[in-house]
Structure 1
């Protein structure tokens, strides 16, 4: 069977048409022979839209549930791809049929000279959609059709998933609820390859009775054009007519042209730009409110920050100190009095207000992955800063589109807003009083005062004229990521890095050692504290050896190790456990391994006395069982790291009792002996891990971690003394 015969057979082009007042279907018997002439011509017109369909669609001809379609299909779109004309010889069985009653049952009522083939899409619940949803749907259909029909790439950002729009349904009942499905359906129809085609329109009807009597003339009236399966519609128009302004004047095109709902980037030069990165996908269409408001606005910035914001179309007052990740803190800190004695005079013509609720968006998968990777890095604040430098530090949730012109006066004028009535402009006296003869558009075009009426009444050339309801950009992220960033931004002490370092390169014959410990990544500052201890190769805490830390720099620090004279410890088999404590915002390094630990730091000075070994500290916060305490000592008067051994004796909820002793080997060089007339000031740097976690993880080794009681003193029931406060008062 030839291709032509296959088409004739598949579409029953040689059959008549039965019409029962509701639907059209091919006749039971053929009228023409199937070896006739088949003329196929590609369709060059636009798809046809049928609006306000009142009839439901026959479930016999669509593989759909008729009950589900009742009163839901508002629009049918015919996508013709070719026009077919079939000419052939009448079959003898048809010509010799004399039974008029059986004639119509067997051969139908009409024969259609012209047939359009292609496919259809149905739009459900369009009447329930907002205008914004309708415009977005039209835009996507128009772009997808033109891309497939003309084989051109039309860049369309899929800001809105199709399940946010009125439903698009195919002839066989499939719902095209993703962009991928819609593009595939359109490409299958218009581009090369196998196609699922249907008869979508009949035209030039000839009554069967005329064919039988060799009278060939088309029927006027209703049957001049009957669109398969569609009847009782209000109007039919082309796709281009139906779409109209929605191509260039809709939310998708505004998002594309103006980069709506993308981050605002502020730099140290007091300049602002809109990020080119797309940060979000929508879970609900933003609300669009048409506005017809024109006004003259006079604003006098009182600070440099206000002047910066007004110059960038941000008119509401904002405290930039509440916005982290702005590139240069000089913008936030430079909030002094505005040196320039200037006044901003604007004329704004508002046309659309676009509102976005944060609950109706979610970050793109790409942004979410980038944020997660940054949070899990050793320098999370720097990694996040790099992301927000690209995506923006601010995020506006309210945007006004319209037109705006401005003049900046070198004088101080009281703030004022004046509504403009387009039918009776009364600005001239006011502008003359302000000594204003012209305004400037954002692109620098001069609008003189006598041209203002025409400019105000001309609705063309939309632009962003105001950003409002601005949030820190990171507040659009998932709640879990927001909480992690909030935690990073707290100005609290934390465990920034931990490690374990072997001592195989030391000499057992020595008593005192200085071990250099280098770290990666590098720190941003040299001001931090290190706490730690010496452990054996079996990870047991050693009492016969002492370690302190000092000589800090951005690359690392030194561990000062001293052995007691009588110890037999093999130093080569020992290891140093250490942890660096400081504020993440200061050093920028913050390992993800131990972020669950909350840290409190105490700096307290004590005076060492020869007849006293116990000293008391009162922290400003309450202690609890399970907390762990670390102590590091420093002697500021002699600028050396003391070798005094400091141990926790007892604790209560508001007090700590330490024992400070000198190593046995150092008795001959006692820093606080009775012969020493001057008392020694000792600075205690105390770190408290406010958590009941038992272990710390290593950052420089893949060995897991170590127990806190190897390096610090865990607060337990055994070393708790409820009457410690009373004891302190008695000592004092």
Structure 2
């Protein structure tokens, strides 16, 4: 025999060779000796495997064997990528497949050169590599109108060990569930379960993108469905999100979206690409299922117990629940029918046919929950229902003599459900108390400001309007990245103002005012301050009142508000007797 050194492991049916071995005959009787040795080795292999209780089978596989000739290379070759076939001994007509390979619960790589490397790896490494690739465990889940699909792009760094907890369960169970919404039927058939601690986050996440599948009219329709499932759970894989390192591509995409002034639109694109959900727990195995849509409502309940001697009772219940529909069969994950009387046989063969296994259940969380805590809080702030400072700008006042000035936004907003607060300041940012404003005509493109100047000496001075836009980020669709760390609290109160023109004329020099109190719930700190804005009836274009506030002596969280007329313009713009209710908008800055 000539060639390099070769290692042969008989108990593993593994032949690992880096160089070919060639057989060269030096004497005429050498081939006969080799044939006898080969037969002896094959017999020893068979005896060793049998007496060590290693299960093997003779399988006629679509195999193209090479190395049959003594003068050709000994090699490993198979057209079946699921089961390894080793021609480690020439002239073998059948292949031994041992339970040593089955216990790895994996799918062997197709390429010949990778098979030896694959089987020499630790078992946990092989499990991570093959299941992650076949079932895309490192990918997010895209939520569509009718389905939950794995995305193409991975969100996990493949160079980082996920270290999943793997448990071989071999658990069989059956459940019958009554469903009142079509969307819930979809969740059951797809094997999607929301993590108990994340169900509210998922709800907010869906509302954030305005993509809640329940909002589709057909999914929100009331239905009377009965769902039956018989599951054979083989393997449970669970990830600790604290040990997950996200991929660089996903990380950069999230950072760029959060830095944008339109983070909601950009984040929507990111999550549409990488997925909306992530499965922290995956159950692998096989299941039979069927969804029956009934015409009437039945008693709502859910049964879920291990399959034992009561299995017949469950099947009887299933038959009763969907009567008069056909209850003689269930469907596999591939849609093939299985008769009720064949279920027990089906359950027995599920553990053997690993190639038929699939994901039968996924416990999911929002995908953003695998990000670091800081990024999670930024995203949650975006889809919260609280008001924030979305814009903080200043605009040069062009002409005080004009009736109003229109201020346009740099980009279109999603809605006009926002509030504007602001003051006129000089070049030193000092507030000008003699100028009063009214914000009106709010739209997605901008707003108008009407003002009254009671001191003409300021008419030739250069002033600026410093204003801020307050609203809910998910409703407005805009959030300046420089204002997200500022904490505010907003609200409004209504104040009834009743006055007569005659009394106003008679008492124009008398201080007439109205008061109210505002409870802002959260106490103000010494550095906190409150801004006020008066909303007039739509017909009133010009401001005629001014508002001021101070902290109440009763509590640090109560503000005393005083509203009084602007005396110089009060009579001029009051053309008739009025009884109005004005709204006092307030914003507390912490």
Q: Same fold (TM over 0.5)?
A: yes
Name the CA distance, whole Å, in 2 between partners of 1:310 and 1:476. 24
**Which one of the candidate residues 334, 344, 349 is aligned to 1:443?**
334
Question: Is the alpha carbon distance of 1:432 and 1:392 closer, same or farther for their aligned partners in structure 2, counting shifts above 3 Å?
Answer: closer
**Structure 1 residue 553: deviation in Å?**
0.3
Q: How does 1:281-320 map to 2 (within 5 A)?
A: 281=157, 282-314=160-192
CA contact (8 A) 1:135 1:251 kept: no
In structure 1, what is the equivalent of residue 360 of structure 2? Answer: 466
1:497 Cα offset (Å): 0.5
Aligned to 2:445: 555
- Secondary structure at 1:638 match in 2: coil
The match for 2:421 among 531, 534, 539 is: 531
More relative contact order, 1 or 2 (CA 8 Å, 6+ apart):
2
Task: Tell me, yes or no, if structure 1 residue 356 matches structure 2 residue 239.
Answer: yes
SS in 1 for 2:153: coil
Change (3 A) 1:273 1:311: same
CA distance in 2, matches of 1:291, 1:669: 84
The equivalences for 1:160-559 within 5 A come to: 239=116, 242-243=119-120, 250-267=127-144, 269-281=145-157, 282-314=160-192, 321-323=200-202, 324-326=204-206, 328-332=210-214, 339-410=222-293, 412=298, 415-417=302-304, 419-420=306-307, 430=316, 433=319, 435-458=326-349, 459-460=352-353, 461-504=355-398, 506=399, 511-559=401-449
2-structure distance, mates of 1:240, 1:530: 66
Aligned to 2:572: 669
Q: Aligned residue for 2:464? A: 575
Q: Deviations over 1:6-46 (max 9, x none)?
A: xxxxxxxxxxxxxxxxxxxxxxxxxxxxxxxxx997x7x98
CA separation of 1:362 and 1:395: change in aligned 2, threshold 3 A: same
SS in 1 for 2:519: coil
Cα deviation digits, residues 394-420 of structure 1 (max 9, x gap): 222111111112223345586434645
Give the conservation status (yes or no) of the 8 Å contact 1:512–1:563.
no
Q: Which runs of 5+ in 2 are unaligned?
A: 24-99, 321-325, 505-510
Q: Which has the greater radius of gyration?
A: 1
Q: CA deviation at 1:291?
A: 2.3
Shift in Å, 1:381: 2.6
Contact 1:378 1:590 in 2 (8 A): yes
Cα distance 1:46–1:641, how it changes in 2: closer, same or farther (>3 A)? farther
Which of 77, 89, 113 is matched with 1:146 structurally? 113
Inter-partner Cα distance in structure 2 for 1:455 and 1:249:
28
Alignment counterpart, residue 634 of structure 1, candidates 516, 521, 535: 535
Per-residue CA deviation, residues 312-362 of structure 1 (Å, 9 max, x unaligned), is 113679785541333545534689997333312222222111111112212
The two structures, once aligned, show a CA RMSD in angstroms of 4.3
CA contact (8 A) 2:260 2:266 kept: yes
What is the CA deviation profile of residues 650-684 of structure 1, one whole-angstrom value per residue up to 9, with x for unaligned ones?
Answer: 5541433445444464254153xxx9643443321
In the alignment, the residues of structure 2 paired with residue 379 and residue 683 of structure 1 have an alpha-carbon distance, to the nearest angstrom, of 30
CA distance in 1, matches of 2:526, 2:261: 30
Offset of residue 289 of structure 1: 1.2
CA contact (8 A) 2:162 2:239 kept: no
Structure 1 contact 40–82 (Cα < 8 Å) conserved: no
Q: Structure 1 residues 679 and 450 mapped into 2: Cα distance closer, same or farther (>3 Å)?
A: closer
1:193 corresponds to which residue?
none
Are the counterparts in 1 of residues 194 and 364 from structure 2 also a CA contact under 8 Å? no
- 2:302 and 2:563 map into 1 onto residues whose CA distance is 67
Q: CA deviation at 1:585?
A: 2.0
Distance 2:524 2:205 in 1: 34
TM-score by length of 1: 0.57
Between the aligned partners of 2:518 and 2:311, the Cα distance in structure 1 is 73
Give the 3 Å change call, closer, same or farther, for CA 643–46 of structure 1 in structure 2: farther
State the distance in 2 between where 1:350 and 1:581 align: 52
Compute the displacement of 1:138 (Å).
Answer: 11
Matches of 1:240 and 1:648 in 2, distance apart? 77
2:559 aligned residue: 656
Cα shift at 1:265: 2.3
Shift of 1:552: 0.4
Note if contact 2:141-2:149 (Cα within 8 Å) is conserved in structure 1. yes
Superposed CA deviations along residues 513-533 of structure 1, whole A, max 9, x for unmatched, are 411111123211112111112
* 1:678 is the counterpart of 2:554: no
Contact in 2 for aligned 1:314/1:467 (Cα 8 Å): yes
Partner of 1:153: none
1:596 to 485, 507, 515: 485
CA-to-partner distance for each residue in 1:365-384, whole Å, 9 max, x for gaps? 22122212222211223322
Match status 1:80 vs 2:18 = yes
Quick check: 1:619 aligned with 2:509? no
Give TM-score, length-normalised by structure 2. 0.69
SS of the residue corresponding to residue 80 of structure 1 reads coil
Kindly tell me: are residues 535 and 51 of structure 1, through their superposed partners in 2, closer, same or farther at Cα, counting changes over 3 Å?
farther
Q: Work out the CA distance in 2 between the residues paired with 1:240 and 1:529.
A: 65
Contact 1:266 1:393 in 2 (8 A): yes
> Aligned in 2, Cα 1:476/1:245: closer, same or farther, shift over 3 Å?
closer
Preserved CA contact (<8 Å) 1:550 1:641: no
Moved more, 255-264 or 453-462: 453-462
Contact 2:393–2:468 (CA under 8 A) maintained in structure 1: yes
Distance 1:332 1:78, change over 3 A: same
Quote the residue 1:3 is aligned against.
none
